[in-house]
Amino acid sequence: MTFSPLEDYSGMNLGDYIDDCVKRYSDFPYMTFYGTQYTYAEFQRKVHILANAFTKLGFKKGDFIHVWVQNSPETLMAYYAAIKIGAVAGPINGWWKGAEVEYLLNDSKGSCLIVEDQYMPIFDEIKEKCPHLKTIIEIGESPSGNYISFDKLISQEDDTPVTCASDPEDPSYIFYTSGTTGNPKGVLLSHKNVIADAKMINAAAMKDENKKFLCFLPLFHVNAMLTCMSAMNKGHHIILRKGFSATEFWEVVEQYKVNFWSAVPAVYQILLSDPTHEKYDLSSMEFGICGAAPLSEDLMRNFEKTFGVEIIEGYGLTEGTCVSTINPRDGVRKAGSIGLPLPGQEVLIVDEEGNEQPPNERGEIVIRGDNIMKEYYNNPDATADTIDEKGFLHTGDVGIKDEDGYIFIVDRIKDMIIRGGENIYPKEIDNTLANHPKIMEAAAVGVPDDVMGEEVKVFVLPSDDTLTEEEVISFCKENLASFKVPKQVEILEVDMPRNPIGKVLKKTLRQWAVEGAPKRQKSGATVADIFGTMESRVNPDGVKGITANYGYIITGEGGGEWTVCVNDGDVKVLEGLHDPNVTTTCAAQDWIDITLGKLDGMAAFSSGKLKVEGDLGLLTKATQFFKKYQPPRAAAEVEVADIFGSMESRVNPDGVKGVTANYGYIITGTGGGEWTVCVDDGKVKVLEGIHDPNVTTTCAARDWIDITLGKLDGMSAFTSGKLKVEGDIGLLTKATQFFKKYQPPGAEEQEKAEELIVYKTVLSIPQRFSTGPVMGKFLNGFKEKKIFANKCPSCGRLQLPAREVCAECVVRADQWVEVGPEGSIAMSDITYYASPDPLTGESRETPYISAHLLLDGCKGHETLWHELNPADIDKCKKGARVRPVWNKERKGAITDIKYFEVID
C-alpha cells in the first residue's frame, strides 16, 4: 500500500491533539534549539504557563495574538498557548517591511502582538498607525523595556494545565499570504484544518516514530508550522534552527543525527554544490521533503545519487493548510511530478466548467478535504472566488494527472496564452526550448495580436552567442504543435527579470514584449583582459595563506580556459587548465558582468549561470583575491605604419639640427615592416625598406607601439632585450628628440584631459583640543582602568562616552556612574578596509571589527563604541561577553583601551 490509513481526528481540537501527543511521548525530547532542549512535557508546561499568563492579561477565545518572532521555541510556545485558550495565533512574516506588517495588523485588527527586539525599528515606525493593538509583548535579548516582557510571562509559576475548549471548526491560525497582485490575504485555518493536514501528511510519509527532524524553514510559513505540529504526533525530535545556513547544515546533521528535513529546491542546489559534506558523517539522513517550487529532475537525481537519500516532492497551498500531494516514500516516485493526493483529500484536474478531465488532459488543479481553509478573513469575495460551491479550492495551477493518478504541474492559469481560441501553456514552450543546446533558459508570453487575440513571443537567454532566432523557431517547429510555435523570438542581451528567489517575472516580460527588452551596455572589458590583468590586481591580504589552483572554463565568444594558481600570496595566471582544485564554468558575458559587479556571483551560481566543480569553499575565499577590475578605455587603434607615416609631419626642427644619419627599423610581428628614417641636417625623409642604415633597431610591433605611446620606456626595452640595436648606438640617443609626440588617430580628447593639473596638498593645521571637564572625567578614568558613564538627572539614562548634556531632556548630565568594564556585544560590525588605504597609502589591518558594547550596568542604547580584537572575528556575535584589553601605559585617551576581547 502506498500510503498508511488516515487516523481518526473527529471532534478533536488542537489542544486535545497536543495533549494527546504529549501524553504519549511525555519524556521524549520535543525540541532542541542550539543549547536548549525541551521534552514534550517540559514544552507543554511552558505552553501552559504562557496560556495562563495570556488569560490573566485578559485574552479570550477568538482574540488574534500576532507573533512576530524569528524561529525559536518561544515562537511555537506562543502559537500553542494562544490556541490553548481558544485564541487565534497570527504569525507575521519576518521578511516583511513596515507597510506590509501595518496592512496585516489593520486588516486582522488583532489586539495583541508579540514582537522580537530585532523587529522593533520597523515596529516603532508603524505602531502609531496600528490603532487596534492593545497589548504588546516584547521578546529578545535586549528588549527596550517599554512593553510587557515575554521572559517575565514565561517565568511565572502558574503552570495549571489548560484544556482547550474550542470547537474543531473554530479558527486556530491566521496566515497572511502575499499574492503577486493586490494586498496580502489572511488565510484563516480551523483546528480541524491543521489536525487533518498533520495527520494526512503523517499517513502519507511518516510511518516511523521518534525520528530527528531538522527544521530551518521559517515558522511564519505553514510548512514549518505544520511539520512541527505533525512531528508531535509521531514523537519526533525537532532540531530547530533560526534559519538555513549552508555552512552549518552538515555539522548539524552530524551532531544531532538528523533523519529528515523539509526544504525548498534552492537549498538542495546549494547543498549539492557544497563539497564540504565529505568531512561529515551523514549516515543518519533518510529523506528530505521538497516543496514551494518545482524541483528539476536533474537536481533530484544528482542529489539522490550523491547522498543516497530520497527527496520527496510535495505540493500544497497555505489555503490548503500546507500539503495536498506528495510522492510516496514506499511507492513509485515520478520525477517532475508532485505526486499523489494525500489520504483524505480529493485533488482533481478540471476544465473551465468544473468537470474532471480525463488522464493526461490539462486543467486547473482543485482540492477538497478537511484541510481546506475556513475562509480568507474578512474577504468573502476572495473566498467565493477561490472555493467553489462544491467545496473545491481552486489553486490557479494548471496540471495533468497521468493514468496512475500522479499529478504534474504544467503552468499558472494567469500565464496561459490564448491564441485564436487555443490554450497554450507557456511552460511547455519554455521547457522545450530549455533542451536546445544553445539555450540556457526560455520564457514565453502572450503578446496582443489583432488577428489571433494573442500571439506567442519567447524570450531566450542563450548559452551560446551564435544562437539565431531562426534556430529557435525551427527547433520549436520540430518539437511543438504548429499553433504553439512562437511568432516572435527575442534573444536577450540581459538577464530575465526575476523576483528575489530567482523566479522569472512573466508580468515584466509581457511589458518587455511591448516596450522592448533592455540592451546590454558595452564596457570595453574582455575575458582575456580580466585574466590578463589579474596578476597586477592581486590583493596581498586576500591571497595570504591560500594555496590552490582555480580553473576557469569561460564559454562563448571571447572565452577560453585559464588557471589562477595561488600559492600563499603568490599568484600566477596560466592559459589552459592545470590541476584545478575547483573549476568554474561560465559564459563569457556573464563572467564579464560578474567581474564588473553587474551580476551577483551568488545569484549567478544559484540560477545555474555559473557552475562549479570541486571544492566550493575555496571559491568563497576567491572574492577577496583581487582588487577591482577596471575595463580598458576604448583605445585608439594604433598601427606601426601610421607611426612611421606621420613622422615627417612631426619633425622637431631643433631636435634634428646638425644630425645626418640613416636610422633603420625592423619591426616584427603583426603590423610590422621595415622603414628607414633618413635625417639630413634638419630634413627628414621616411622610406619603406632598409636603406644604408647607420644604426638598425629591431623590435616587435606591439612593443614599438608601446614605446611610441610612452607606455614602455625605451631604455628598459633595450636592457630587457625587447629592443635590439646594431650599429652606432650613440646616434639612437639623439633620435629621442627628433619628433613631436605621436597622437594616435582619434585620441585628441584624451590629450586634452591630460592638461588638467592636479594640485596635491594635504589639509593639515595642527590643532590642540581640550576635553572640558566632562570628557576629561571620562578619559581620566581610563588611567585607573575605570569606565565612567554620566547620567541624566532627569531621565536617568547613561551616556557613553560622557557628554555634557542629555540630548533628549536638554539638561546637564552631571551625575557619574562607574560601569563595566566587562559587558556584551550589542551590535557588531565588521568592515574590510582597503589596504593599503587609498587615501594615505598606509597598510591597514583588515578586517576591522568594531561594536556597540553594552557594558555591565548599562541598558538599551547606553552603548560604548569601540574596536574588537580582529582575532575574535568568529566569536563576534550579539550577546557575546567582552572585556577591555588595556594598554600598559595609559594617558587618558580612548585608545588606552586597545580593544575589547571576547571572553570564552
221 within 8 A of 210, measured Cβ to Cβ: no
Pick 11 or 766: Cβ nearer another protein: 766
186 within 8 A of 175, measured Cβ to Cβ: yes
For residue 132, give the nearest of 149, 112, 103 by alpha carbon.
112
29 within 8 A of 75, measured Cβ to Cβ: no
Choice from 58, 772, 836, 879 touching another protein (CB under 8 A): 772
767 binds another protein (CB under 8 A): yes
From the list 138-146, 411-419, 480-488, 760-768, the region that binds another protein by CB under 8 A is 760-768
Choice from 214, 775, 800, 876 touching another protein (CB under 8 A): 775
For the window 781-820, what string marks contact with another protein as x by the rule CB under 8 A?
----------------------xxxxxx-x-x--------
Integer Cα distance of 293 and 397 in angstroms = 12
* CA distances for 2 relative to 328, 331, 653, angstroms: 6, 5, 98
Helix (H) or strand (E) holding 42: helix 40-56
For residue 589, give the nearest of 519, 539, 534 by alpha carbon.
519
Least distance from another protein to the Cβ atom of residue 757, Å:
8
Integer Cα distance of 80 and 161 in angstroms = 13
Least distance from another protein to the Cβ atom of residue 121, Å:
16
Pick 522 or 760: Cβ nearer another protein: 760
- Interaxial angle between packed helices 14-25 and 222-233, expressed in degrees from 0 to 180 and rounded to the nearest 10: 50
Integer Cα distance of 157 and 52 in angstroms = 10
Q: Which residue has the cell 610612452?
A: 710
Least distance from another protein to the Cβ atom of residue 756, Å:
11
Least distance from another protein to the Cβ atom of residue 801, Å:
12
From the list 200-208, 326-334, 422-430, 772-780, the region that binds another protein by CB under 8 A is 772-780
From the list 1-9, 130-138, 351-359, 762-770, the region that binds another protein by CB under 8 A is 762-770
Least distance from another protein to the Cβ atom of residue 755, Å:
13
Pick 753 or 765: Cβ nearer another protein: 765
From the list 560-568, 634-642, 673-681, 754-762, the region that binds another protein by CB under 8 A is 754-762
Pick 649 or 770: Cβ nearer another protein: 770
How many residues are given for the chain? 904
From the list 104-112, 363-371, 590-598, 753-761, the region that binds another protein by CB under 8 A is 753-761
Pick 653 or 772: Cβ nearer another protein: 772
327 within 8 A of 204, measured Cβ to Cβ: no
Choice from 130, 472, 619, 774 touching another protein (CB under 8 A): 774
Least distance from another protein to the Cβ atom of residue 219, Å:
37
Integer Cα distance of 634 and 749 in angstroms = 12
753 binds another protein (CB under 8 A): no
Assign 630 to helix, strand or coil: coil
Q: Would you call 753 exposed, middle or buried from its count of C-beta atoms within 10 A (0-12, 13-18, 19+)?
A: exposed
Integer Cα distance of 86 and 541 in angstroms = 59
756 binds another protein (CB under 8 A): no
Pick 128 or 278: Cβ nearer another protein: 128
Q: Which of residues 586-625 bind another protein (CB under 8 A)?
A: none
Pick 796 or 836: Cβ nearer another protein: 796
414 within 8 A of 398, measured Cβ to Cβ: no
128 binds another protein (CB under 8 A): no
From the list 39-47, 179-187, 696-704, 757-765, the region that binds another protein by CB under 8 A is 757-765
Q: Which of residues 636-655 bind another protein (CB under 8 A)?
A: none
For residue 246, give the nearest of 224, 223, 272, 270 by alpha carbon.
270
Q: Take residue 110 and report the three cell numbers written for it.
A: 488583532
What is the identity of the amino acid at 174?
Answer: I
Least distance from another protein to the Cβ atom of residue 205, Å:
56
Least distance from another protein to the Cβ atom of residue 780, Å:
14
Q: Take residue 392 and report the three cell numbers written for it.
A: 473545491
The two beta strands, 417-419 and 422-424, are antiparallel
Integer Cα distance of 717 and 722 in angstroms = 5
Q: Which residues pair with 423 in a beta bridge?
A: 418
For the window 273-302, what string marks contact with another protein as x by the rule CB under 8 A?
------------------------------
771 binds another protein (CB under 8 A): yes
Least distance from another protein to the Cβ atom of residue 374, Å:
46
Least distance from another protein to the Cβ atom of residue 810, Å:
4
Pick 509 or 774: Cβ nearer another protein: 774
759 binds another protein (CB under 8 A): yes
Pick 465 or 804: Cβ nearer another protein: 804
766 binds another protein (CB under 8 A): yes
Pick 751 or 808: Cβ nearer another protein: 808
Q: Which residue has the cell 523566479?
A: 503
The two beta strands, 237-240 and 805-806, are unpaired
> How many chain residues bind another protein (CB under 8 A)?
23
Least distance from another protein to the Cβ atom of residue 807, Å:
4
765 binds another protein (CB under 8 A): yes
Pick 451 or 756: Cβ nearer another protein: 756
**Sign for the pseudo-dihedral over CA of 50, 52, 53, 55:** positive
For the window 359-378, what string marks contact with another protein as x by the rule CB under 8 A?
--------------------
Least distance from another protein to the Cβ atom of residue 809, Å:
9
451 binds another protein (CB under 8 A): no
755 binds another protein (CB under 8 A): no
> Which residues, other chains included, contact 743 with Cβ-Cβ below 8 Å and sequence gap of 6+?
751
359 within 8 A of 403, measured Cβ to Cβ: yes
Per-residue DSSP letters for 504-535?
Answer: B-HHHHHHHHHH-PPPPPP----HHHHHHTTG
Pick 317 or 806: Cβ nearer another protein: 806
Least distance from another protein to the Cβ atom of residue 773, Å:
7
Pick 753 or 810: Cβ nearer another protein: 810
Least distance from another protein to the Cβ atom of residue 764, Å:
9
Q: Take residue 450 and report the three cell numbers written for it.
A: 489583432
Q: Take residue 128 and report the three cell numbers written for it.
A: 502609531
From the list 124-132, 163-171, 768-776, 841-849, the region that binds another protein by CB under 8 A is 768-776
Q: Take residue 688 and report the three cell numbers written for it.
A: 619603406
Q: Which of residues 535-554 bind another protein (CB under 8 A)?
A: none
Integer Cα distance of 188 and 180 in angstroms = 19
What is the identity of the amino acid at 367?
Answer: I
Strand ranges inside 556-692, DSSP E: 560-567, 570-575, 582-587, 610-614, 660-668, 673-680, 683-688
Least distance from another protein to the Cβ atom of residue 792, Å:
11
Distance of alpha carbon 316 from the chain centroid: 25
Pick 49 or 789: Cβ nearer another protein: 789
Assign 227 to helix, strand or coil: helix
Pick 352 or 759: Cβ nearer another protein: 759
The two beta strands, 88-91 and 64-68, are parallel
Choice from 746, 773, 793, 836 touching another protein (CB under 8 A): 773
Q: Which residue has the cell 652606432?
A: 728
761 binds another protein (CB under 8 A): yes
* CA distances for 564 relative to 538, 550, 552, 591, angstroms: 11, 5, 8, 15
Angle at 897 between CA 896 and CA 899, to 5 degrees: 145
Least distance from another protein to the Cβ atom of residue 819, Å:
20
Binding site for another protein (CB under 8 A): 757, 759, 761, 763, 765-775, 803-808, 810, 812
